[in-house]
Amino acid sequence: MGDPLSAMSTIIDGAQVASGVRDDLGEAIETLADHGVSPGLATVLVGDDPASETYVNMKQRDCEEVGVNGVHVDLDGDASPAELYETIEELNTDPEIHGYLVQDPVPEQIEYGEVIRRISPEKDVDGFHPENVARLVARDARFKPCTPHGIQKLFEAYDIDTEGADVTIVGRSSIVGKPMANLLMQKSVDGNATVTVCHSRTTDLAEKTRRADIVIAACGVTELIDGSMLSVGTTVIDVGISRVEADTEKGYELVGDVDFESASEKASAITPVPGGVGPMTRAMLLYNTVMAASESEGVPVELP
Ligand code: NDP
């Protein structure tokens, strides 16, 4: 017999919502094409980190599928900062590239913050440049960072209202936790939440997750959040993706920051890993690229 208080979870299908976003992008890309514009996205990878290689390959495949002109630049793992800066300068001035990113992590001889500062803010489709961070905080976002934006799209697709909700975010990184907190606390229809941001020095994490209507786990600690840390009816968004050694063809499996089995006994809605937040992050990168092309070429497009 199951727990009488257990809820029937809705599994949030990120792949399906992402597919809807891509359909909308398809129309915008056609409008751009009518004006002779082909949106261009470049990815830069320094070194051969296997997870990073997989990510950039997926991003390039996404480009092909929706009709974005994808360009990939590979630099050796021992590339000097100057070599990378030269690539960045070329991309900043390449009229065919509307947006690009340098895949994190970069090797230790390179300082990622400096890399971000050198990317032209108009082409910074990850939304990490300090100018874009400031604009987000000022409620004048040029590009919303892809993962938090994708999560907002999931809320919209599943009618999960953040207005007045208590949201606990586990993780305060610049790419997920902080921009997510910022977006959700804003005075806007897709915000208006009361946000608690937790991190590695937080005491009594379970108390913060149990009191939340929505828990967003983005800490990179496999299965840190389990059902015992959740109240019945919580919406659970699992951002985490860790490769864990497993007896599979690839030799690993992807594991999130949430213990799906026990959490889904409590959650009203929950994202799986894979197939939850990941596809949305990728879709929103394409979204930002199309927006960048539209802005820089002066061709208005309609994006939801
Ligand atoms: P970071 O390593 O940059 O940040 C992790 C955050 O979690 C830090 O703020 C850290 O605290 C906090 N943290 C670590 N351990 C604990 C703990 N035991 N309790 C509470 N908080 C803790 O990670 P990212 O934000 O870059 O990524 C997080 C996860 O999400 C990773 O698994 C990553 O692979 C995944 N990811 C998935 C994406 C997707 O599309 N699905 C996109 C981006 C990331 P402190 O600040 O104190 O160190």
Residues 6+ apart with CB under 8 A from 127: 133, 136, 141, 142, 143, 144, 145, 146, 179, 288
Question: 106-120: per-residue pLDDT in tens?
Answer: 999 999 999 999 999
User: Which residues does the annotation mark as catalytic?
Assistant: 59, 103, 126
Question: 263-304: per-residue pLDDT in tens?
Answer: 999 999 999 999 999 999 999 999 999 999 999 999 999 998
Q: How confident is the model at residue 2 (pLDDT cuts 50, 70, 90)?
A: very low
What average pLDDT does range 34-62 have in this prediction? 97
Give the whole-angstrom CA distance, residue 241 versus residue 253: 10
Q: Does 7 score more than 60 pLDDT?
A: no
- Which residues, judged by CB distance below 6 Å to any ligand atom, belong to the binding site of ligand 1? 147, 170-173, 175-177, 198-202, 205, 218-221, 224, 239-242, 277-278, 281
User: Is the whole-model pTM more than 0.95?
Assistant: yes
Percent of the chain surpassing pLDDT 70: 98
Residue among 136, 190, 144 at smallest CA distance from 167: 190
Question: 251-261: per-residue pLDDT in tens?
Answer: 999 999 999 99
Nearest CA to ligand 1 atom 17: 200
Tell me how far the alpha carbon of residue 172 lies from the centroid of ligand 1, in angstroms.
Answer: 7
What are phi and psi for residue 198, nearest 5 degrees?
-105, 160
Give the whole-angstrom CA distance, residue 170 versus residue 245: 24
Tell me how far the alpha carbon of residue 167 lies from the centroid of ligand 1, in angstroms.
Answer: 17
What average pLDDT does range 21-43 have in this prediction? 97
What average pLDDT does range 187-194 have in this prediction? 97
Residue 3's pLDDT is 52
Residues 6+ apart with CB under 8 A from 104: 52, 112, 175
Q: Does 1 score more than 70 pLDDT?
A: no
Question: 219-238: per-residue pLDDT in tens?
Answer: 999 999 999 999 999 999 99
Q: How confident is the model at residue 46 (pLDDT cuts 50, 70, 90)?
A: very high
Structural domains of the chain ordered from first start? 36-122 (3.40.50.10860), 145-278 (3.40.50.720)
Question: 139-190: per-residue pLDDT in tens?
Answer: 999 999 999 999 999 999 999 999 999 999 999 999 999 999 999 999 999 9
